[in-house]
Structure 1
Amino acid sequence: MVAEYRIDDLARAAGTSVRNVRVYQDRELLPPPVRRGRTAIYSDAHLARLRLILAMLERGYAFAQIKEMLDAWQAGHSLADVLGLEEATGAAWSHEQPAIVRMADLVRMFGAQVTPATIRRALELHVLERHGAHFVAPSPKLLEAGRELVTLGVPLAEALRLAAELQTETDRITALLVGMVRQYVLDPKGPDWLPSGDELPHYADVISRLHPLVMSALSAAVDRSAQRVIPQMMGDRLIAMVEKARRRDGAEPGA
């Protein structure tokens, strides 16, 4: 399903302002939206292009330089291929569909631990995002993991602290992996290198393969880690519980 955004949703998703989105449109860096009556509708391709513009601005490129590079890519290849590269750099990164979460849902999941302080912290961590009168969970799986921890007896505030640490560590590891691809695949060609029209599909393919590569590597590493760490940290408690059960049943420990 193709995501659709109004201008305020687009700006929020990219981490910029509505005013900036309009400026980029005026400078012809961002394609015009589709019109449905009086409503402007943006797509994942717009979000990808916007993220690419923001990344270029952060690296110090001027508007004119950004437009020149985008025009050069577009002249060397079809618009579909250019948007394909843009989507590879951002639009298709999330494989989870965000879920609307109402206050009643949060109370059902976390009970009395839903307080202004825990909601504020969840918003700071982007575990939740505010959309009108409701919230949106960008990652329902992450929210469900938090619910499971709280159900087991972990305080919600501690679960949120863990979410912050997980984000920091996964960002660091992801940056290491992606940095290796950039170092050995893209950067040897020079910091100002840009692919030609004929090269564009290949490098779009390289970038598009990063998300599944990161997911596969992290998933495998976490699985192996869980197999090692869970027995190490919980084994003594399990043995103690088994021995207590044996004593209760009249058996000798170690028999």
Structure 2
Amino acid sequence: MEELAEAAGITARTVRFYRERGLIPPPRREGRIAWYDEHHLARLRTIAGLLERGHTLTGIADLAAAFDSGHDVREALGLVEPTEETPVRLSPEELADYFEGEVTAENLATALDLGYLAVEGDEIVHISRRLLDASSAVVREGVPLATVLAASRLVREHADALAALFTSTFQDHTGETDMAKLRPLAKSVVEAELSMALDRHLPARRDA
């Protein structure tokens, strides 16, 4: 414990307190010897980084619990392969910086449940660079992350329905099983229809 505390730049008493609060996992024991490893050190550095960003110890404990319950990368990404999306690896502190003040245990649990986030060791992986950048930009405009995630769940449902419509229509009338031809056509249709829908709705909201 003393060696871990020295490496983390804190006191052994603080390490003991964090362990008692469940902020770090228990050490591996061999007889009377307690062994800590690089994962404990990474967690201590994460705690320090989140404290600097204004998170409370109670909030960090809740985040840690949500983080520890998350699906690993192989499980999460295995559901959507193959994909055109580029995953992004983040530390918990970097994720907090993307969504300043909005990374709560509830929001983290929702994002994990939706499959936007996955866990690999001490890192968090966001499944899509495009979705990460877009959602963080919306949050910076003043929309709460909880609202963004709720909207994302609806978008996911509609996107799944559209994908099912495109694939069934394409297969039923062409007998084609290779979806490589369908993907760019479907994306063009959805992008054009969404663009026209925004044209219809945005002026109406401005005039209201």
Taking structure 2 as the reference length, the TM-score comes to 0.60
* Unaligned ranges ≥5, structure 1: 1-7, 16-50, 52-89, 187-202, 237-255
**Inter-partner Cα distance in structure 2 for 1:106 and 1:11:** 21
Alignment deviations for residues 108-141 of structure 1 (CA, whole Å, 9 cap, x no partner): 1212211111111001111111121111111111
**Inter-partner Cα distance in structure 2 for 1:153 and 1:13:** 30
State the Cα distance separating 1:13 from its structure 2 match.
3.0
Give 2:146's aligned residue: 157
**Inter-partner Cα distance in structure 1 for 2:116 and 2:159:** 15
Q: Secondary structure in 1 aligned to 2:195?
A: helix
Q: Secondary structure in 2 aligned to 1:111?
A: coil
Q: Which amino acid aligns with 1:232?
A: A
Give 1:198's aligned residue: none
What is the percent sequence identity of the aligned residues? 25
State the Cα distance separating 1:145 from its structure 2 match.
1.6
Please list, as runs of the form range in 1=range in 2, the aligned pairs for 1:37-116 lying within 5 A after superposition: 91=82, 94-116=83-105
| Cα RMSD for the two superposed structures | 2.1
Q: Secondary structure in 1 aligned to 2:125?
A: strand
Give 2:78's aligned residue: 14
Taking structure 1 as the reference length, the TM-score comes to 0.49
* Unaligned ranges ≥5, structure 2: 1-71
Aligned residues: 137
Establish whether residue 118 from structure 1 lines up as the match of residue 90 from structure 2.
no
Closer, same or farther in 2 for the Cα pair 1:10/1:136, shift >3 Å?
A: closer
**Inter-partner Cα distance in structure 2 for 1:212 and 1:131:** 31
Closer, same or farther in 2 for the Cα pair 1:103/1:122, shift >3 Å?
A: same
Closer, same or farther in 2 for the Cα pair 1:107/1:10, shift >3 Å?
A: closer
**Inter-partner Cα distance in structure 2 for 1:9 and 1:166:** 22
State the Cα distance separating 1:211 from its structure 2 match.
1.4
Please list, as runs of the form range in 1=range in 2, the aligned pairs for 1:133-212 lying within 5 A after superposition: 133-186=122-175, 203=176, 206-212=178-184
Please list, as runs of the form range in 1=range in 2, the aligned pairs for 1:13-32 lying within 5 A after superposition: 13-15=77-79
Give 2:185's aligned residue: 213
